[in-house]
Structure 1
């Protein structure tokens, strides 16, 4: 299991900075009762209804969804402003999402420096090494870095807030000197709290692809709703103005890795919109009991729920000099979205195709011919069997990556994009034997054997050409 992704998509439900697409709510009522006119208090002559005898949609902690509140973020939020801001936003999320909160949600504001200090993750070194091979198999993170280092740099700069299911609280990351909250970030994380209270968010699948797919529903739901929320603010709700500094905190971002982990935020809203078109919010609610199992289903909503990924296995044909890692499971599945990111990085697909119509729910387009026919895959990392050799040579690793495709034509297309466009053209690989290639320089300097049988393509990686058969002997 990709534990760092699991931590992101289960232990912490994040909102990250990216390309936000406008979302129009086709069913939103035209409610102008809370619209400010000419700077005057729209409710100066209005008395609000009494608090209801029991909780109801559109009312939370003493505040109605269309009630005016006095919140000024120019000098930071005090306790009373925070209470009113959170409670009314909860009530509004209920109206938009048609989902009731069962209890209040604590919200804390921290600085970006505090967030970076708190998010420094300690991981099991064996699993981290195993995970490095998974990302190396994708040709996204080479031997000059670790995926943990890439994630630390990426998340430290782009995270705007998170919800913790284990603690039932929201943390908003503020780049202002005083505590302030971006209203869309707050709405997004409150959706996660409602999801957790109604459906439970304390479990995570066991593979990278399934984690991204699971998050496609969870993050897609939250991002779809925060877009509807913002549309109401722009159209007919009187909303708390955005703080002066409500963007990401900058820093180093590995864009191809970002594309991979951003999949749920980009493609999830379209997936959720499709579900809602099929059967309203009830269809979205029902999906939490039958969550998507692959990014293929999120990228192509019509394939949910019937088209499930095929199970791919890799038989162990290694010599006594090599062994699989002592991890559970020993294999990972990376999925269609990650394959797309690989080909995008190495220009095996048209990079311009990534940009989506700015009016669409999803800001990016993750579909391309070399990745679209994906049916299933398995990545199995290998290490030297000798602990002494393993510890002394950190880059002496290998892996077997087997992909299965819908048709032989799809497999041929993947093989061509992988060998010709990626290994040979992007990484300057040279032929080193039958179906075997060698990359001499750079972070992916290794030997690769690429074979295809029908609709199955198998990539075997090792430090040298001689060691390829030791990692996985030819059949």
Structure 2
């Protein structure tokens, strides 16, 4: 990879700032759950009677199925917002079978203000930024000439609908305009996060998790919230009146609660009304990457709930999934640790000791993203990625990425700023490894790669112009990337060439000079670090 402009990359979704996300490119339908519990009895004046004590489905004087005297057409004032929040809390209690012990503060900001807050908000330093940028390029999601941080910020600003901050114990709803409006479906999603992180659920956080482990835990967290908001949405399409939601369309608000002031879109609140500050078009590859916890997470949680109810879902938090593979396939298979010895020459420096673990979700995204760029064709078909007869419209369980058992990606950088990487992947068996390698070679050809020699590919032009080496050994696939074919060996010397690690080569050269003329002297490289 050639020199790139790298700032600090926006961090991956953190569990302390959980954001609702929409994927308005897809559309899914859902069926309301059976509402078997009895509704609250009406009082003599026609309103719903308050209970003698706090009960599930009632919060601060408001029942889950009450109509509210609010008019959202010009935004919500403070008292109206309080009523909507109370009703949404009651609805989460009703659907999720939980009880809030205190009110959750909620504020509303515009999408423009959110984008301004996010600008330059990444962290971790230059090395972390470069490692993240290399990872995104390896997945063919962000090209080497694109600022990875800015691209992530732009995509996130286009998709986020709201977020809960555990440090502030506050929900922030992102409205499409400066008018303070909310979508009750989004609000329900974020209220689930408030309940999760107020200590009501025993969440076990793994120590020093890999990126894929974090992604799996976030899938549980977001899947739980997504299942609740989908259920609330189905009621909003039926008997419940809902601010910020038009029955059947996902926009507007329900009858009896005022009108207007809503997001358009698919029911997650995507899009925007006329006159709003339009959200920038997202990078669809990054969009798909960030949407995994919502889609497969909901599918994972829904399957658990069907088997054992909400108690079974609560139990997941004490023993959460540890890889995206476990979420996708609902398996307990543990990922294998994958390492690669550093066989770079003196011109290249490995960035960090530990590899980045991408996981099956990232591999699936890498292939599925070809459905949404501006090139002809794709590596996977729409039929393989888009689902039918499923409330969740996409699947990350794709054939090319199935069988993943573990991976590790090491980033390298040269003094001139050029970067490269070594990416080793393990699969369940030899056939799965060959299938992945075949699809990966197809991905290279999709980006107009030539093949100058066996196992070597060159993309001459475009955002991913580089040289690639792809090799398969049993259930293992190794990919090496560098700016040119000549640089491939500098990033990762082939094992058969018996070249010493970079730190020993100067001494070896000196030894070789001293031994010239000695017919019996043999120059032998010292042992390598690690194993091939």
1:463 aligned to 2:495?
A: no
- Pair 1:287–1:108, CA change in 2 (3 A): same
1:412 aligned to 2:434?
A: yes
1:111 aligned to 2:116?
A: no
1:362 aligned to 2:398?
A: no
Deviation of the 1:202 alpha carbon: 10
> Which of the residues 362, 368, 371 maps onto 1:344?
368
Larger Rg: 2
Deviations 1:145-198 (A, max 9, x none): 132121111111121111111211100011244211011111111111111122
Whole-Å separation in 1 of the counterparts to 2:485 and 2:180: 57
1:92 aligned to 2:100?
A: no
> Structure 1: 5+ residue runs without aligned partners?
35-41
The aligned runs of 1:262-411 (5 Å cut-off) are 262-301=291-330, 303=331, 306-326=332-352, 330-346=354-370, 347-357=378-388, 359-384=389-414, 389=415, 393-394=416-417, 396-411=418-433
User: In terms of mean alpha carbon deviation, does 188-197 or 464-473 score higher?
Assistant: 464-473
- Pair 1:297–1:33, CA change in 2 (3 A): same
Deviation of the 1:428 alpha carbon: 2.0
Deviation of the 1:105 alpha carbon: 0.9
1:440 aligned to 2:470?
A: no
Whole-Å separation in 1 of the counterparts to 2:369 and 2:106: 38
Corresponding residue for residue 510 of structure 2: none
SS of corresponding position for 1:162: strand
SS of corresponding position for 1:403: strand
Is contact 1:212-1:261 (8 Å) kept? Answer: no
The aligned runs of 1:246-257 (5 Å cut-off) are 246=263, 247-248=270-271, 249-257=278-286
Whole-Å separation in 1 of the counterparts to 2:197 and 2:297: 17
- Pair 1:86–1:308, CA change in 2 (3 A): same
Is contact 2:142-2:148 (8 Å) kept? Answer: yes
- Pair 1:146–1:202, CA change in 2 (3 A): farther
SS of corresponding position for 2:237: helix
Is contact 2:111-2:177 (8 Å) kept? Answer: no
SS of corresponding position for 1:101: coil
Corresponding residue for residue 39 of structure 1: none
Whole-Å separation in 2 of the counterparts to 1:184 and 1:127: 35
Deviations 1:60-109 (A, max 9, x none): 23333234421211121111111111011101101100122233211000
Deviation of the 1:200 alpha carbon: 6.6
Deviations 1:314-344 (A, max 9, x none): 1222222222114xx6311111121112122
Deviations 1:238-286 (A, max 9, x none): 3335244313343121112211111111222111110101211011101
Whole-Å separation in 2 of the counterparts to 1:410 and 1:232: 43
Is contact 1:377-1:401 (8 Å) kept? Answer: yes
Whole-Å separation in 2 of the counterparts to 1:164 and 1:343: 33
Deviation of the 1:228 alpha carbon: 0.7
Corresponding residue for residue 151 of structure 2: 150
Corresponding residue for residue 37 of structure 1: none
Whole-Å separation in 1 of the counterparts to 2:289 and 2:381: 17
Deviation of the 1:131 alpha carbon: 0.7
Corresponding residue for residue 192 of structure 1: 193
Aligned CA RMSD, in angstroms, stands at: 2.3
Whole-Å separation in 1 of the counterparts to 2:493 and 2:100: 56
More helix by share: 1
Q: TM-score, normalised by structure 2?
A: 0.79
Is contact 1:23-1:224 (8 Å) kept? Answer: no
Deviation of the 1:426 alpha carbon: 1.1
Corresponding residue for residue 38 of structure 1: none
Deviation of the 1:201 alpha carbon: 7.0
User: In terms of mean alpha carbon deviation, does 241-250 or 215-224 score higher?
Assistant: 241-250
Corresponding residue for residue 12 of structure 1: 17
Paired residues, number: 449
> Which of the residues 220, 231, 235 maps onto 1:232?
235
Whole-Å separation in 1 of the counterparts to 2:299 and 2:422: 33
